[in-house]
Amino acid sequence: MRLICLPFAGGSANHYWDWPTYLSPDVEVVAVQLPGRADRLAEAALDSVDPLADQLLDGLSPYLDLPLAIFGHSMGALIGFELVRRLRATGREPVHFFASGCPAPHLARDRSTDRHLLPDREFLSAVVAMDGVPREVLEEPELVELVLPALRSDFTLVETYGFRPQPPLSCPVSAFGGDHDAEVSRGEVEAWSCHALDRFRFRMLPGGHFFVNTCRPALLRLIDEELARV
């Protein structure tokens, strides 16, 4: 099978380069490179989930010869959720959906804390505070110029996301959270159960919002266990 991996805000496909070493050799990791970063830096980043999910659906067409599982962390979980819905509409619902470090999409958000509207310096400081980018980036104007457009687009995508009710997913759903995540609470992660028609698994792992980095071996063991059930 294939595991399609979607990045967090400001992240890239490079985050998943070593995941195959933790997973069964029967699982091919396909890391998605979104526009506006790394080798797609010349392309404009998209700041709305719908056109991005539509593009991903088109781009996945060569990969549909094997069963798919979808993993997304933070922003990637929102994009993944909408992608799974689109795949379901075509009759190709994935065999598993993994949502990591992200509140369930139906939950109301406090728009007063939106960061994408902040001036550049304040915006970057807020991203640094949540370990979204290294603090050293703020000291390099050239780096700021490179990362700022995609970062702001990513935060706009997340903070302006509008949930539309649909029936729950029939594929199994797993939701992961960090037990010291200041961005996403345990209850917000557990609320993903509303989007699972049948099997739902919920686990909290040690770490903050980026437990996906600091607790990687444990996270990937859980993913591998679920994929082995398929």
Distance of CA 96 to the CA centre of its chain: 14
Residue 196's DSSP bridge partners are 169
* Whether the Cβ atoms of residue 35 and residue 43 lie closer than 8 Å to each other: yes
Residues designated as active site: 74
Q: How many residues does the chain have?
A: 230
Of 2, 160, 23, 184, nearest to 100 by C-alpha is 184
* Whether the Cβ atoms of residue 167 and residue 85 lie closer than 8 Å to each other: no
* Whether the Cβ atoms of residue 73 and residue 66 lie closer than 8 Å to each other: no
Please give, one letter per residue, the 3-state secondary structure of 12-68.
Answer: CHHHHCCHHHCCCCCCEEEECCCCCCHHHCCCCCCCCHHHHHHHHHHHCHHHCCCCE
Rounded Cα gap, residues 16 and 31, in angstroms? 6
Classify 90 as helix, strand or coil.
coil
Residue 98 has phi, psi (to 5 degrees) of: -115, 120
